[in-house]
Chains A and B, each alone.
Chain A
């Protein structure tokens, strides 16, 4: 007998018809038809169980706000009161967000990022050719009080240099400084260097800097006050991803 007709297979899968004896005989000897019938049976079984999934309630807005706050810590501060970013307040919120069980999950995620970074390094050592090897990159977005046209891109290259391109930064009487911040503890940061008024600079990342931890790139406006710590006036931020 010939292979089962597609319409026949569907009828059998939906249990709308019984198998004829010649069909049963063919199915017993034909793996292809048997496989098609099994697949269609399973699909119809699954399909019959989908009724309560067709109109799921929309996911809550507060959950989206939590996601948004994590992917762009800089854009998270509600109200947008001032250009001043309160680092301590950020830290408090970051800590509250994390629950006890999260730690191992985050550790696993960090391990995954490390694994990716490791692959990139390995590829480079293995002599893969190509242009510049980018270990990590970030897109810098303006904070709320900074003109929306401001922005930038950051690339961490395999040789440990960080290429920073910025545009549209507000004028300053001081200077623009680049930082790598730990988004889980916003008081922890590494000063990378200043932009010296250039739209495109290459800055060395200190050897040994953990980019999985210090992954939040921050460009701040620093006054000439002799204080080497962050002024609290962040202009652009973005998170490094490998």
Chain B
């Protein structure tokens, strides 16, 4: 699996296969975000198409030093989806309907939150196996450290360090790529 740096390099060189790789790797997340924001499959596919075409056209603007390829693509997709909602509002004078769509009652489903979930899910998938497994047990099964140790057969100290490192990795990624992070006040931070 080539890194974002390598993929960016190939993209910049005009290698269409690199865009295909990006599509295979991140197309599902882009489509998911678009579908959640727009509420229907046809518009979501249109926005996904626009996103990857824009990524191709603007491939020189991707800087692996500032974020990951997924974060960059989700940022483009979010803007395209918002443009789509706005122009729909202008065209159809359905402002009220659109407002209802863009400001979901459930705070956890804001566009920023969906982006956050997608980047954290992606990072979780990249963690070393044991870090990932222990975090899955903590997040999804709500198990405590001792319970995780019992389930996995790992010593408690090992579980602790996997979870601490795993959380630190997720946090770092979320701070780099997460949509909501930019709006948070930046405070002092200690490395975990």
Contact = CB atoms under 8 A, between A and B. Distances in A.
B87 A104 contact: yes
Contacts of A99: 46
Size band of the B side of the interface? 35 or more
Contacts of B32: 53, 56
Interface residues of A, number: 55
B29 A56 contact: yes
A33 to B, nearest CB: 8
Contact of A58 (B27, B124, B170): B27
Contacts of A50: 117, 120-121, 124, 139
Contacts of B91: 100-101
> Main SS of the interface on chain A?
helix
> Main SS of the interface on chain B?
helix
B52 interface: yes
Contacts of A33: 190
B145 to A, nearest CB: 7
Given A43-B174, A109-B57, A32 B188 contact: yes
Contact of B187 (A35, A57, A63): A35
Interface string A54-74: 101111100110111011100
Contacts of A43: 120, 167, 170-171, 174
Interface stretch (A2-10, A163-171, A190-198, A203-211): A2-10
Contacts of A102: 46, 50
